[in-house]
Amino acid sequence: MKLMVLTTEPISAQQLRDAVSADVDPEDAEVMVVAPAVHDSALHFWFSDADEAIGRAQAVGHETLELLDAEGVSASADTGEGDLVAAAQDALQTFPADRIVLFSHPPEQQRYREDVDEAELRERFGIPVDRAQLPAGD
């Protein structure tokens, strides 16, 4: 099983286990973490340098790898476009995932272009998509 994890905040192996169905064990899967370089708002997207968003995405990927590794889940990570659909599409070019696990903030805390509908991802890419909400306040 190849799992692509799209997340805008670091996640633990337990969060990943909780997000997928019982028949999927992240410890037995090939896991690719994609940390999109999202901006805080449309204004930041249009008028700011992308370096801050990219740096945050790199930190999310790195911290997630550490958390997963500490709990026995082997993974790799990469940063992605600020648009989560584009980030998934790009990653699927080199990592043909069997399932996507999407972690996002609650609607009132979402960053620019973080409001992706899992049904849209499922329809567009033709693979199962699980969605999990990041804890409020992250």
**C-alpha–C-alpha distance, residues 97 and 114, integer Å:** 20
What pLDDT does 51 receive? 76
**In the 8-state DSSP scheme, what is residue 31?**
E
What pLDDT does 113 receive? 57
Question: Using CB atoms within 10 A of its CB, is residue 99 exposed (0-12), middle (13-18) or buried (19+)?
Answer: middle
What pLDDT does 112 receive? 53
**C-alpha–C-alpha distance, residues 12 and 52, integer Å:** 23
What average pLDDT values come out for the chain (138 residues) when binned by 10 residues?
A: 94 93 86 87 57 88 96 94 89 96 70 70 93 73
Instruction: Report the CATH number of the 2-133 domain.
Output: 3.40.50.620
What Cα–Cα distance (Å) separates residue 48 from each residue in 18, 111, 125? 35, 14, 31
Q: Where are the domains of the chain?
A: 2-133
What pLDDT does 138 receive? 46
